[in-house]
């Protein structure tokens, strides 16, 4: 791979890992505060070991036994689906049509639910299970990104190291500012990850189908810019529509009919 595509891969894996681990950290911190840190950290550690085992077991098999063109075609399609989901939600949030993920609210809700049972002095099976489940579920998305991006580029080792670095960074920052997670610009990171996943998906789907991209790996940067322009335009257009709906709602209604509340996008 060229340096440009390697850099894009590193950034995509890093941002995806940070986003998912911030969400997991929110739950782990809430569990630690309300039920005890020992069981919460043990649950998180067990989940991380399980995720590492999955990458270590599946990664080499993908690299050595699956033909690269077939792998890139399948993985490219998966990345397109996966990336478009991230991109769609990020665009809707940026346009104000979908509520942004509020880590502060998630933290408060978990504190409320878990606090009802009291904090355990020793091992707390509830704290262990909740923390383990949160890290495992969020971490599985990181594993998918590592295996798909890293596998298609034959750089699973690099992708795994980047993901591990992101996990360590989030853990370190979380230890320092555990209750300030709402300040993380999560939607901006999700937008960036979505753009990169869709771009890699397009590139590798084309290569798997036998296409020859002009400029080889450098075209990934162009794809990121092109999809970014489309996402920006979609955000702008979606921001205009509610205003037009409000104007229509203020228009005079036919005589004898009561004005009906506008459904708008919030009802969707």
Residue 101 pLDDT: 60
Say if 63 falls within a structural domain.
yes
Question: Measuring CA to CA, how many Å separate 224 from each of 66, 129, 198, 205?
Answer: 27, 39, 8, 15
Closest CA to 74 of 144, 6, 136, 9: 144
Say if 152 falls within a structural domain.
yes
Tokens read off for 255? 């005589």
Say if 267 falls within a structural domain.
no
Number of domains in the chain: 1
Say if 243 falls within a structural domain.
no
Residue 256 pLDDT: 43
Say if 244 falls within a structural domain.
no
Tokens read off for 14? 């890093």
Closest CA to 167 of 185, 195, 147, 143: 143
Extended strands (E) in the chain: none
Tokens read off for 228? 């970014």
Residue 211 pLDDT: 83
Say if 208 falls within a structural domain.
yes
User: Whole domain around residue 168: which residue ranges?
Assistant: 3-238
CB 156 within 8 A of CB 52: no
* CA diameter of the chain: 74
φ, ψ dihedrals at 250, nearest 5° = -85, -5
* Residue ranges, the chain, pLDDT below 50: 119-121, 242-268
Residue 227 pLDDT: 94
Closest CA to 30 of 140, 124, 113: 113
Residue 242 pLDDT: 47
Tokens read off for 188? 């901006």
Residue 154 pLDDT: 75
CA distance 112 to 168: 27
CA distance 190 to 231: 12
Q: Which residue do the tokens 């681990």 mark?
A: 21
CA distance 259 to 177: 49
CA distance 198 to 219: 13
- The pTM assigned to this predicted structure is 0.60
Q: Taken in order 159, 161, 166, 170, is the CA torsion positive or negative?
A: positive
């Amino acid at each position: 791979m060229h340096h440009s595509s390697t850099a894009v891969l590193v950034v995509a894996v890093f941002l995806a890992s940070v986003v998912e681990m911030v969400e997991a950290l929110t739950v782990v911190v809430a569990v630690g505060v309300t039920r005890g840190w020992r069981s919460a950290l043990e649950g998180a550690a067990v989940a991380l070991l399980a995720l590492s085992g999955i990458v270590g077991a599946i990664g080499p098999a993908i690299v050595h036994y699956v033909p690269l063109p077939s792998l890139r075609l399948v993985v490219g399609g998966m990345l397109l689906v996966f990336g478009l989901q991230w991109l769609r939600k990020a665009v809707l949030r940026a346009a104000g049509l979908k509520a942004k993920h509020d880590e502060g609210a998630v933290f408060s809700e978990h504190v409320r639910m878990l606090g009802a049972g009291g904090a355990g002095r020793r091992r707390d099976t509830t704290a262990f299970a909740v923390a383990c489940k949160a890290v495992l579920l969020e971490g599985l998305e990181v594993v998918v990104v590592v295996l798909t991006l890293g596998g298609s580029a034959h750089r699973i080792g690099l992708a795994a190291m980047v993901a591990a670095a992101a996990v360590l960074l989030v853990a370190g920052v979380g230890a320092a500012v555990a209750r300030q997670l709402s300040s993380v610009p999560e939607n901006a990171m999700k937008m960036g990850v979505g753009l990169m996943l869709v771009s890699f998906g397009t590139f590798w789907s084309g290569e798997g189908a036998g296409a020859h991209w002009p400029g080889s790996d450098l075209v990934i940067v162009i794809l990121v810019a092109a999809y970014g322009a489309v996402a920006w335009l979609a955000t702008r257009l979606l921001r205009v529509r509610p205003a037009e709906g409000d104007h229509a709602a203020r228009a005079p209604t036919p005589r004898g009919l009561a004005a009906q509340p506008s459904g708008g996008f919030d009802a969707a």
